Amino acid sequence: DAVTAKEFLRRPEVSYQDVVAFIGPAAEDLDDKIIELIETEIKYEGYISKAMDQVAKMKRMEEKRIPA
């Protein structure tokens, strides 16, 4: 089955350089910091999303008024 570059990069054993091998030289021109950011966001997006959901939930709880 075919997968997108994003789905391929999400795999722990795959690096951005592995993706570039399939995409071609146009993707090689990115700065190393940008590449690191892309890899991190894609590989950890599930964890980041859960953490952001927890932050939103905590904010709602902080704003909830407790009857006196």
Q: How many CB atoms lie within 10 A of CB 42?
A: 19
Q: Is residue 15 part of a domain?
A: yes
Q: Is residue 50 part of a domain?
A: yes
Q: Is residue 26 part of a domain?
A: yes
End-to-end C-alpha distance for the chain, whole angstroms: 59
| pLDDT at position 26 | 65
Q: Is residue 51 part of a domain?
A: yes
| pLDDT at position 3 | 87
pLDDT, tens digit, 9 for 90 and up, residues 5-61: 889 989 999 998 888 888 777 666 778 888 889 889 999 999 999 999 999 999 999
pTM of the model: 0.57
Distance of alpha carbon 37 from the chain centroid: 8
Q: Is residue 68 part of a domain?
A: no
| pLDDT at position 28 | 64
C-beta of residue 20 within 8 angstroms of C-beta of residue 27: yes
Task: Tell me the residue range of the domain where 54 lies.
Answer: 5-63
The Cα–Cα gap between 11 and 43 comes to 7
The Cα–Cα gap between 26 and 36 comes to 17
Q: Is residue 40 part of a domain?
A: yes
Q: Is residue 32 part of a domain?
A: yes
| pLDDT at position 35 | 85
